[in-house]
Chains A and B, each alone.
Chain A
Amino acid sequence: MFKGIYDKAVQSMTVTWAEYLDKNGDTGRLFREGFTSNMYTIAGALLILLTLSSCLIYYYYFNGKFGNYYRWYHWLYAMAINAVLVGMLTMIIGFSLYKKLVCPTGHHVAMLGLLNLLYAALLFFFLSFIFKWKSVMGKTTPF
């Protein structure tokens, strides 16, 4: 489901699957199958669920119940925390899933984590324009 948004980017940040399979044979194939189906799904789910939750918490809890978190830098903190959280969790889950494989997987997992971090920041940015309208204090955050 999420292959479209991750696969090309991961390959461009690491190596193409063809090159990877050339070097790693069947074990590499096993990793590719799991990574492109399970790991991309997990990463996508993390990206959407965590970013949605972060937006909800930032706009409707912090800016619905408190009056002092509406400045652009508070929003930036929230976006950064969410992005790092999404990226870190993606990496942690990825490393724990593929640590037993003999072929090298770390580079792919790390790049997927980094990619998810960037996507989380982007998604947070775009969701902000939807969520801010119904927020009490966050109506004009980030602008």
Chain B
Amino acid sequence: MPRLFVFGIGGTGSRVIKSLTMLLASGLKAGNFDIVPILIDPHKDLGELNECKTLLKLYAGINEASYKGTDQMDNGFFRTKITTLRSLSSDSGLKDDFEFDEKHDQPFGQFLDLASLPKNDATKDLLSLLYSDENFRKPLSVGFKGNPNVGSVVLNALKDGPGFRAMEDAFGNQDRIFIISSIFGGTGAAGFPLLLKLFRAHTKSAIRDAQIGALSVLPYYRLTEPKVEVDEDTKQETLSSDIDSNNFMTKTKSALTYYIRPEFSNMYNALYYIADPDKQDKPYENNEKKQENKAHYVELLGALSVINFANGDHTHTGDVYEYTLKNDNVPVVNFSNMGDSTRSQLGTPLTALYLFDKMHKANLTQPHLPYNKTMKFNQLYDRQQIFFDNLNLFFNKYYEKWLRELGENERGWLPHLLEENREYYGLINGNSREKGKWDGVFKPAFNISQVHLEGAKAADSKSLRKLKKVSLIGSYMAMCYQAVNSIVDANLQFKANG
């Protein structure tokens, strides 16, 4: 299988990769590529980064357990393989499965070894023109704090690191590269052009000539204004944060003037832009250390660019894609006011994943369900406890939280009814299905019991019984996939207008 190396740079990179993981879990496929996620963020203690890594590990484990030795299954939840760079090049010396860069604990000045330069050295003078004393003093362990000029120097060291060597070893002729970054921050804004240059100037032709796509995320959130803090001893005033979201747009504009230059646009094959200029009423907390930002629909749609890139052939250079909502003037985005093609693409898989969560929970708590008995799933739940613990963790800790956060954020993304409900007629916000007069009497109702019925039908099929002999976990995943997809197809119209 060819591989798509997806670089997630900075906090936005991690968040988009998290959304990408959810899309892949729903069964969306990135062409015929295996995904190799690679995270670049100097802020190693960032909760978002570590959460993303755990999620990727969970996904990889679920994929491995579900589809090992079951090549006949083309589609399914968690179907696309996520693999690690470390597993592709085991002797590269990489310390982490997904991280590309190494931790820098020292301040920027120490990283440059400023102390070793003579007092009146010209290099030192030049550096003092480019960087402030504050820049030199700040530790790199919390990232570049919106300073791409710092990031571009530090990240330049990537090319000598074990991550880069591992990628050089593993990269094949059919492989592709996708880089996710924000344009208005520090790490992503610095990392994207730098990586692009490194790849295009690489000595290995497979890397140099690879199709490269990128997502550049433009401003889509605000931060609270930095507070003025007064030092009690020196009475000196300092700001609580180096990041001021009022500068996001200025930074974006200046970066864009560089991105549109031919010498830059010739380096990428496809560049995707996404932004949300809608001003948030409740800005995110301006906390550099925590950055506990909720999941945002821009990250979800951004993740879709990876799928789009992987499913197309991008031989031209300089292709640019932008995303527009069908109805921009809405506080909450759902399937009825987003773009028609996005609804067609996301409607079925995301609703299927949502129903899979419900079905899976019911399966575990209802041992008397016929397929639990006939397929021996009741025994499987006990025997493969690690797999089911992982699947439960994915749903309970990550998926449901992600969905909730998307709904709570500004703007919100709320395609599904999140409250517990016995019936699913109002499952799709903005596109309720009318309950038929005879539903539940002469016609099947749209509720969890019909999901069970479809599960039982799937469990009865020849293909599933054949699969059961190869992998019981695989047959469980296939049954759930077939059941919820047939329910969605029978009850909801995502392809047609409606």
A residues with CB within 8 A of B: 65-68, 70-71, 136-141
Contact = CB atoms under 8 A, between A and B. Distances in A.
Contact of A137 (B443, B445, B456): B456
A66 B444 contact: yes
B459 to A, nearest CB: 9
A141 B440 CA distance: 21
B456 A136 contact: yes
10 contacts: A65-B443, A65-B444, A66-B440, A66-B453, A137-B453, A138-B370, A139-B374, A139-B456, A139-B460, A140-B374
Contacts of B448: 67
B401 interface: no
Contacts of A70: 368-370
Contacts of A140: 368, 370, 373-374
B495 interface: no
B68 interface: no
B475 to A, nearest CB: 16
A116 B289 CA distance: 79
A128 to B, nearest CB: 14
Contacts of A65: 443-444, 453
A65 B454 CA distance: 10
Residue from B370, B373, B374, B460 whose CB has the most chain A CB atoms within 10 Å: B370
A129 B304 CA distance: 51
Contacts of A66: 440, 444-445, 449-450, 453
A138 B460 CA distance: 12
A6 to B, nearest CB: 36
Contacts of A137: 370, 452-453, 456
Nearest to B450: A67
B451 interface: yes
A136 B460 contact: yes
B457 interface: yes
Nearest to B448: A67
Contacts of B374: 139-140
Given A139-B370, A139-B460, 20 more contacts: A65-B443, A65-B453, A66-B450, A66-B453, A67-B450, A67-B451, A67-B453, A68-B452, A70-B369, A70-B370, A136-B370, A136-B453, A136-B456, A136-B457, A136-B460, A137-B452, A137-B453, A137-B456, A138-B370, A140-B368
A65 B370 CA distance: 14
A67 B363 CA distance: 13
Contacts, number: 44
Residue from A67, A68, A136 whose CB has the most chain B CB atoms within 10 Å: A67
Nearest to A72: B368
- Which 10 pairs show the lowest CB-CB distances between chains A and B? A67-B453, A67-B449, A68-B449, A67-B452, A140-B373, A139-B370, A140-B370, A136-B456, A137-B456, A67-B450
Interface in B344-376: 368-370, 373-374
A10 B443 CA distance: 43
Contacts of A136: 370, 453, 456-457, 460
A137 B459 CA distance: 10
Nearest to B442: A65
A139 B455 CA distance: 13
Contacts of A141: 370
A117 to B, nearest CB: 28
Nearest to B371: A139
A78 to B, nearest CB: 16
A139 B372 CA distance: 11
Nearest to B373: A140
A141 B448 CA distance: 19
Contacts of A71: 368
Interface in B281-320: none
A57 to B, nearest CB: 13
B377 to A, nearest CB: 12
Contacts of B370: 70, 136-141
Interface string B424-457: 0000000000000000100111001111111011
A138 B371 CA distance: 10
Nearest to A70: B370
Nearest to B460: A136
Nearest to A69: B449
Contacts of B368: 70-71, 140
Contacts of B445: 66
Contacts of B453: 65-67, 136-137
Nearest to B440: A66
A72 B268 CA distance: 63
A61 to B, nearest CB: 10
Nearest to B451: A67
Contacts of B456: 67, 136-137, 139
Contacts of B454: 67
B362 to A, nearest CB: 10
Contacts of A68: 449, 452
